[in-house]
Amino acid sequence: MSVCWRRIARPIWGWSLPAAVALVFAVGCGKSSSLEKAIVSGKVTYQGRPMEQGMIRFVPTKETKGPAAAAMIVQGEYTVKAAGGVPVGTHRVEILGMQDREVPANSFPVPDSTLYDPKIQYLPDKYNRESVLEATISKGDTAHQDFNLE
């Protein structure tokens, strides 16, 4: 890999989480559909403490139709309102918890590595990749859904 490529790839890799979030928000944007949706907000805690930062995603399951909907979690709170909110129905819920990567005081991040990411996802797979979380969103303009993760 050339030095020039490393200078380009390193900044791009650091923006991977924000780029992924932007992509999730862009999906389903456009003309409004006839799907009933609700703006969903709530709190997310992990081991009894508010989750500092992360992302929550509602993925339609069973008979529910429509796109997935997502939002950032900040200081333990989230609101899904992009593209009109979350489609009414049953959803698999995926939650990513992000925290700063700990770097020992006497070491440096590998500056030439394109794989270095200053944030790490710390929640168990049962809350994201293999999520066991489910939520049913009812008709109405707004809904409230808290998640207390152990």
- Residue 81 identity: K
pLDDT tens across 24-64, in order?
555 544 444 578 999 999 999 999 999 999 999 999 998 99
| Domain containing residue 113 | 3-149
Give the β-pairing of 53-60 and 49-50: unpaired
- How many domains does one find in the chain? 1
Cα distance between residue 144 and residue 114, in whole Å: 40
Give which of 78, 84, 70 is closest to 17, Cα–Cα.
Answer: 70
Q: Does this model's pTM top 0.85? A: no
CATH number at 133 reads 2.60.40.1120
In angstroms, the first-to-last Cα distance of the chain is: 42
- CB contact at 8 A, 40 and 79: yes
Contact between residue 72 and residue 78 where contact means Cβ atoms under 8 Å apart: yes
User: How much of the chain is helix, strand and coil, in % rounded to 5?
Assistant: 20, 40, 40
Task: Give pLDDT tens digits for 95-120.
Answer: 999 988 776 666 655 555 555 566 88
Question: What's the token pair of residue 35?
Answer: 């799907």
Let me know how long the chain is: 150
